[in-house]
Amino acid sequence: MKRKLLVLDNDDKSLEELHGIFAGSDVALLQTTDVRSALACAQADHPDVALIDIGVSGGRGLGILKTLREKYPRIGVIVMSGQGTTEDAIDAMTQGAFDYLTKPLDGRLVKSVVERALQNSMLGREVRIIGTEAEGAVEENTADVMIGASPEVIEIWKMVGTLSASDATVLIQGESGTGKELLARSIYHHSRRRDKPFLTVNCAALPETLLESELFGHEKGAFTDAFARRIGRFEQAAGGTIFLDEIAEMSMKSQAKLLRVLENREFSRVGGTETLTADVRVIAATNRSLIASVKEKSFRVDLYYRLKVVTIHLPPLRERIEDIPLLAGLFVRQIAREQQQPAVRIVPQAMGLLRTHPWEGNVRELKNVLKTAVVFCKGGTLLPEDLAPLLGEPGPSGEPPPAAPGAPDRKLFQPLFETVAGSHAGAVYRKFISEAEKALISLAMDRHRQNEVHAARFLGISRNTLRQRLKTHGIK
């Protein structure tokens, strides 16, 4: 007896692909092209799995997903879309979809997902509906958004939807500029705590004493300048979510108090004896490897395992170049609107430059480059020559862009080079870099009046790294 796959799609090409994928198998395709006929087929033919395109019938695909899950909970529903929007993926998984696929379809992936859904249906396991009505798509005038249609990003959005009914602690890992806080906000907005506060604390921006007070509050007289009781973030975020950015920079003492919150939901204000209860979901983020920090003895292993209940890795932009046109298109529209300029178009050759740039600063760098380009754009069209100087690419003549104003001349390094070359032959590179780094760190510390937090931020390194380099070079 053949297993039945209900297909709701009015795209002839996709239907042809699906027939080819399941040709010769024990899967019978029940083909429908509109919502009404799909629901009638579900009632009459009792399919095991449904594969629905949410773009059919004016985008009512998520509506039929909800109907199928309510009326025929045994049917595993797989959602597919040709648009690949992040909200679609989140909403589909929130409403109980078995999986979410994007077009053009990958034959092997489709076959694998459908087979798993068929097995799930045959075993009688129901996918629980988690969530209510789907929220609207991300507005284009949103100040900060995170979008993408690459397989890596789609998997992240599916995970966000699956997490909507959970209060599990989440650890987000990714390079600077990938959008970790935006992802944390997305998890919050799709959670049961979305009507309660969402508070952010940057653990790298505050010294240990201030960070502890910021998180847990303090009592009057707990330390110098503590003239009154202060309510900390964990109290302020009661019932909501707290986002701890750059968690790897937290001191060991603060880590111990955070561990107590995660284990027992209890904490005390600095200088206080009263035990308080914390009904708060914790989302943490870091641009460093926490497991490496554990090995370096700068991060508690027990806290690490408490944080990584759910771990999401945000890939850098260079690993999802198919998202660059989506992001670039959205950013230029936003920026033009903010600057009250006419609409700006990116020509294919300029988009090619954007797709091949390494983007070490990730999405943040892309947005900043486009902001500069749009401001100076003439004629409403971004050309390769508009972007090349901003990306360090050769200009139209093939010549590299001019050096940035103030770039150091090699003559400035000549004295140090001669000194090192005369006494460290065979180890010139190591000694030169070491001495240059020592001078750089000393200058940065002097500029910021020996404030490690500000100096580390100025240099673009972590506070722990700065402390290590200060010790290595004997800088007091």
Mean pLDDT of the chain: 82
pLDDT value of position 137:
37
Question: Per-residue pLDDT tens for 462-475?
Answer: 777 788 788 888 88
pLDDT value of position 394:
58
Strand, helix or coil at 148? coil
Question: Tokens standing for 417?
Answer: 């080079």
Residue 164: pLDDT above 90? no
Residue 134: pLDDT above 70? no
| 43 half-sphere exposure, CB direction, 13 A CA radius | 10
Q: CB-based burial of residue 75 (10 Å sphere; 0-12 exposed, 13-18 middle, 19+ buried)?
A: buried
What distance lies between CA 160 and its chain's CA centroid?
Answer: 11
Lowest-pLDDT range of 56-65, 79-88, 183-192, 326-335: 56-65
Cβ(88)–Cβ(100) below 8 Å = yes
Residue 411: pLDDT above 50? yes
Q: Which domains does the chain have, with CATH numbers?
A: 3-122 (3.40.50.2300), 166-314 (3.40.50.300), 320-391 (1.10.8.60), 410-473 (1.10.10.60)
Question: Nearest Cα to 351, choosing from 379, 316, 323, 319?
Answer: 323
Question: Per-residue pLDDT tens for 215-272?
Answer: 888 888 777 677 787 888 898 888 999 999 999 999 898 899 899 999 998 888 888 8
What Å distances lie between residue 61 and 12, 67, 139, CA to CA?
A: 17, 10, 20
Which residues on adjacent β-strands are paired with residue 281? 241
Cis-peptide, bond into residue 104, ω within 30° of zero: yes
**Residue 54 pLDDT grade (very low, low, confident, very high; cuts 50, 70, 90):** confident
What Å distances lie between residue 194 and 261, 358, 466, 467, CA to CA?
A: 21, 36, 37, 38
Question: Nearest Cα to 202, choosing from 6, 472, 462?
Answer: 462
**Residue 423 pLDDT grade (very low, low, confident, very high; cuts 50, 70, 90):** confident
End-to-end CA distance of the chain: 79
pLDDT value of position 302:
94
Question: Tokens standing for 475?
Answer: 């800088």
Percentage with pLDDT > 70 across the chain: 87
Distance in angstroms (rounded) separating the CA atoms of residues 387 and 370 = 8
Question: Nearest Cα to 311, choosing from 397, 129, 416, 187?
Answer: 187
| Single-letter amino acid, residue 160 | V
* Secondary structure of 224-276 as H, E, C letters: CCCCCCECCHHHHCCCCEEEEECHHHCCHHHHHHHHHHHHHCEECCECCCCCE
Enclosing H/E stretch for 162: helix 151-162
More confident residue, 379 or 247: 247
Mean pLDDT of 421-430: 75
Mean pLDDT of 336-361: 88
Prediction pTM value = 0.61
